[in-house]
A and B are shown apart, each in its own frame.
Chain A
Amino acid sequence: EVQLVQSGAEVKKPGESLKISCKGSGYSFTSYWIGWVRQMPGKGLEWMGIIYPGDSDTRYSPSFQGQVTISADKSISTAYLQWSSLKASDTAMYYCARRARYCSGGSCSHNFDYWGQGTLVTVSS
């Protein structure tokens, strides 16, 4: 059974650093991209970036480039999302998800087929 299990909720102060995790199991962790998705309170889903654990190739949304760092440790099947200096506006639920690809007729479609349970990050002074 494919599972993505995220680390627990965090309460931090502005300016602090943070690293949250997402551990995959039940599939070949190095063969699928893992993405991170932000959901601010009461708002929609935002694509932050993805990483390919096989070689750590990473892509960021322009909105999140330079704001967060995505990494992975394939030896323990875990992906990470980290901040060096949190802001109150980073308060949100963060989801990791496995990216699947379906190709047909020369074009490919990407989607997130398995999701972690989410990690709530609260940043408040």
Chain B
Amino acid sequence: DIQMTQSPSSLSASVGDRVTITCRASQGISNSLAWYQQKPGKAPKLLLYAASRLESGVPSRFSGSGSGTDYTLTISSLQPEDFATYYCQQSETFGQGTKVEIK
């Protein structure tokens, strides 16, 4: 089974900051990676799929990149509504999550 290691587990940032979250796979996954945002008490929301493709309706400040085993979610300018927990997913495996908190 492919293991996904997501980092950091949490981070503190200010509105307007650039934020980067990383997922590393235990073997190459050929861009087969999705990113989700989850707010407290809500279901996860798909942000990006196939590593870099933005889901319809998701703001363009969210972007994804990577190849092979290493992938990144970037929020170019953090907005108040972006404070949430973010998860990567490769097929049957989710990353451990990254909680983005207000500094």
Contact = CB atoms under 8 A, between A and B. Distances in A.
Contacts of B30: 107
A47 B49 contact: no
A53 interface: no
B72 interface: no
Given A45-B44, A113-B46, A102 B53 contact: yes
Contacts of B31: 104, 107, 109
B40 to A, nearest CB: 11
Interface in B45-69: 45-46, 49-51, 53, 55
Contact of A45 (B1, B46, B49, B94): B94
B34 interface: yes
Contacts of A116: 43
B46 A102 contact: no
A117 interface: yes
Contacts of A45: 36, 38, 44, 87, 89, 94, 97
Contact of B32 (A109, A113, A115, A117): A109
A27 interface: no
A108 B50 CA distance: 8
B23 interface: no
A66 interface: no
Contact of B44 (A46, A62, A107, A115): A115
A115 B43 CA distance: 7
A25 interface: no
List the 4 shortest-distance A-B pairs measured between CB atoms, nearest first.
Answer: A111-B34, A115-B43, A109-B50, A107-B30
12 contacts: A45-B97, A97-B44, A102-B53, A108-B32, A109-B32, A109-B49, A109-B50, A110-B91, A111-B49, A113-B49, A113-B55, A118-B43
